[in-house]
Amino acid sequence: MLLGVDVGGTFTDAVLVGEGSVVHTAKVASTPGEQSVAVLEAVRLVLERAGAQPDQVARFAHGMTVATNALLEGRTARTALIATEGFTDVIELGRQARAHLYELCRAAPAPLVPSDLRFAAAERMGPAGVLRTLDPGTARSLVEDVARCAPAAVAVSLLHSYADSSHECLLGELLAELLPEACVSLSSELVGTFREYERTATTVLDAALSPLIGAYLSRLSAEAGALGLCEPQVMQSSGGLTDTMRAGAHAALTVLSGPAGGVGGALLLAQLAGERDVLCFDMGGTSCDVCMIDDGRVQETAERVIAGRPLSLPALDIHTVGAGGGSLAWRDAGGALRVGPASAGAVPGPACYGRGGVEPTVTDANLLLGRLLEDSPLAGDLMLDRSAAERAVSKLATELEIDVMGCAEGIVRVAEAEMLGALRVMSVERGIDPRGFALMPFGGAGPLHAAALAGELGISRVLCPRASGVLCALGLAAAAPRRDVSRTAMLAGASLSAERLDHVREALVAEASGLLSERPVRVRVRHELRYRGQSFELPVEEELDPADLTSGVLGPDQLRAAFAGAHEGRYGYSDDTAEVELVNIRASVWGASPRLRPLAGKGVGERGREVRDVVFDGQPLQTDVLRGDLAPGAVLGGPALCALPEATLIVPPGWRGQVDAHGTIHLHRGEAG
């Protein structure tokens, strides 16, 4: 059996896939104070529902928000930084770029390492080799100074260490000797590419989070072992699994751990549905994550910004906005209705949860509009309180001087506008026409808004997974182990030769394969190129045969041609006269992934027709209500409300749908059906 557990801001989801690809699910409220409590409760519940024992679980995959939450809340360890003499303040100087152009007084996030914990190493490395040797005695004296400050973690980021890591390795050995309890992050091991600020900031972030993540994963592993479960595997931001020891030692790898699981689940069900072009959005209780499956592949990026801090590690290309079911609705200083980014979270949660929340949320608004059922428990056996929702929304309606139902509909429309903006960032703003894509909603709240968002984007097809409310956990169960290694090459002109290219690629693939505990079944090399003089690169990827790494390898001429095509597609032109520069090479290897083909539920059988009033475009309409699993082949037409086991799907008038063998509901609008 395969177990996946995903921790969200509001709920913790568990999926257990047994023999015959039968899927068992559970959802419990998250426990922000100690996430492992909800994790183990979800595991206990899903095992109970499946009638299974812990020792039947062959693999336990875990996606978490511990690193993200700690970064957002400023709960990081006391961290020291060792940098090249003259460069200790690079993390504070940054790029001198303003994220908010016209807010002149808005400051960047404070550095994670204060000035008194930044130490200068008397050394200098250049791109071509050593310029000033780091004396071992001087290095020991420096590390002794660091040790006297008693940091919980130390980041080491020396100039050009991606080209020669010998000085960083020397400092790493001394830190292991003199500060054995501290977490140590070396930039040459973690990042391996140039751009001094981003590399240093990523290494500092990794060091500052690792003590917390390491302690959490140690506790979780011990508690899971006491229950008879196997060692957890942890989802990385790249969409692949790693062991708890590596995740605990390099917490930066897990910052986007949770959303990455959802992308994997979406890719799995899109493949089973025969769709290669899918725009996906995951709307949970706290946020909405958007990604794109283009021609059967999910885009990746090696440059992200998390909580205002750069992260230069491989990650799935996911765009996040603060619009979830628990997002708070409020009136701004100008009298306008706003939604998010603040959230009611798991505690106290939306007002309708009856846990002490008094502020209106998107969930409260959906309940008043009839889109959630008061007499049907929400996931986690949570009964909703309509009167509490009405009190919360009424208070805001009074402030806005509008009626309650108008306020509820306004809350939903504003939240949908936020999500629509995120969907356009991933499609329209990149020159991609979304009308040729299908839209896949997931998360507990996603299917409530899918048809409305599809209509705004001109999309006529919606794919709603049966397990949409726990799709991140399903994606974890289906994930494969992955390791990544990156290096800056800086090859151009005569130096960009076939021999030099093959040497670098082979070394990186060998290093990445050595980090994987099993034989690779998939190998990919990503080349990042630019025209000389440009500041940013475009990727050219190639899949290699793990059994013959020399077959199909791109040569310099093929790389230049592929880059010209990519540049033409992104910017509308290419330049045959300009020199092409290969900046970075990234090798990724995957282990074997389970072959999952989740099946639809058996359905709830024959039942009498149930009708409720649901508000569409300001008007209440008689709407069919379907509860529980829908059987394969079942047909439905709008208006309809499908109360699925972990989510609620709204089918507006003019939409029709049918359920496939895997439980995915295929909706079509109007003539597209």
pLDDT tens, residue by residue, 332-372:
999 999 998 888 877 788 999 888 889 999 999 999 999 99
606 confidence band (pLDDT: 50, 70, 90): very low
Mean pLDDT of 581-605: 82
Report the SS3 class of residue 611.
strand
Same domain, 578 and 618: no
Sign for the CA dihedral angle at 640, 11, 296, 292 comes to positive
Task: Give the model's pLDDT for residue 603.
Answer: 59
**Is 495 contained in some domain?**
yes
Q: Which residues contact 96 (CB under 8 A, 6 or more apart)?
A: none
**Is 145 contained in some domain?**
yes
Whole-angstrom distance, CA of residue 444 vs CA of residue 272 = 21
**Is 419 contained in some domain?**
no
Task: Give the model's pLDDT for residue 379.
Answer: 59
- C-alpha 230 chain-centroid distance: 24
247 confidence band (pLDDT: 50, 70, 90): very high
Same domain, 513 and 623: no
Same domain, 196 and 124: yes
Cis, peptide link before residue 341, omega less than 30° from 0: yes
Task: Give the model's pLDDT for residue 605.
Answer: 42
Stretch among 114-123, 534-543, 571-580, 604-613 having the lowest mean pLDDT: 604-613
Same domain, 623 and 520: no
Tokens of 538: 């475009």
299 confidence band (pLDDT: 50, 70, 90): confident
Q: How far lies 334's CA from each of 115, 241, 399, 447, in Å?
A: 40, 47, 12, 32
* Residue 219 in this model has a pLDDT that exceeds 90: yes
Final residue before a domain boundary, out of 182, 213, 244: 213
Whole-angstrom distance, CA of residue 368 vs CA of residue 615 = 9
Task: Give the model's pLDDT for residue 363.
Answer: 93
293 confidence band (pLDDT: 50, 70, 90): very high
Tell me the backbone φ, ψ of residue 282, rounded to 5 degrees: -110, 105
Beta strand residue intervals within 85-182, DSSP E: 118-121, 124-126, 129-132, 153-157
**Is 449 contained in some domain?**
no
Q: Which of 177, 141, 139 is nearest to 158 (CA)?
A: 139
Same domain, 582 and 616: no
| Domain that includes residue 557, residue range | 482-590
- C-alpha 638 chain-centroid distance: 33
Final residue before a domain boundary, out of 521, 556, 590: 590
- What is the domain-level CATH number for residue 132? 3.40.50
- Mean pLDDT of all residues belonging to the chain: 90
- What is the domain-level CATH number for residue 495? 3.30.1490
**Is 604 contained in some domain?**
no
Same domain, 626 and 583: no
* Residue 467 in this model has a pLDDT that exceeds 70: yes
Task: Give the model's pLDDT for residue 627.
Answer: 86
Which residue type occupies 479?
A
CA-based max dimension of the chain: 84
CA dihedral 140, 146, 148, 153 (to 10 degrees): -130
Same domain, 514 and 624: no
Tokens of 165: 């890591």
Q: What is the pLDDT of residues 366-420, one digit of tens each?
A: 999 999 988 877 755 678 999 999 999 999 999 999 999 999 999 999 999 999 9
Stretch among 186-200, 367-381, 424-438, 546-560 having the lowest mean pLDDT: 367-381
Mean pLDDT of 4-25: 85
Q: What is the DSSP letter of 548?
A: B
CB 60 within 8 A of CB 17: no
600 confidence band (pLDDT: 50, 70, 90): low
Same domain, 568 and 629: no
Task: Give the model's pLDDT for residue 380.
Answer: 58
**Is 623 contained in some domain?**
yes
* Residue 63 in this model has a pLDDT that exceeds 80: yes
Q: How many domains does the chain have?
A: 3
Same domain, 545 and 630: no
**Is 649 contained in some domain?**
yes
Reported pTM: 0.89
**Is 622 contained in some domain?**
yes
Same domain, 76 and 209: yes
Q: How far lies 459's CA from each of 25, 270, 288, 289, 434, in Å?
A: 30, 16, 19, 19, 7
CB 476 within 8 A of CB 317: no
Same domain, 586 and 616: no
Bridge partners of 531, per DSSP, are 580
Q: What is the pLDDT of residues 633-658, one digit of tens each?
A: 889 888 999 988 888 999 999 999 99
Whole-angstrom distance, CA of residue 310 vs CA of residue 655 = 42
Final residue before a domain boundary, out of 197, 213, 229: 213
Whole-angstrom distance, CA of residue 382 vs CA of residue 286 = 17
* Residue 109 in this model has a pLDDT that exceeds 90: no
Mean pLDDT of 198-227: 95
Whole-angstrom distance, CA of residue 475 vs CA of residue 257 = 11
* Residue 673 in this model has a pLDDT that exceeds 50: no
Same domain, 527 and 651: no
Task: Give the model's pLDDT for residue 631.
Answer: 86
Place of tokens 């209500």: 625
Tokens of 105: 């007084």
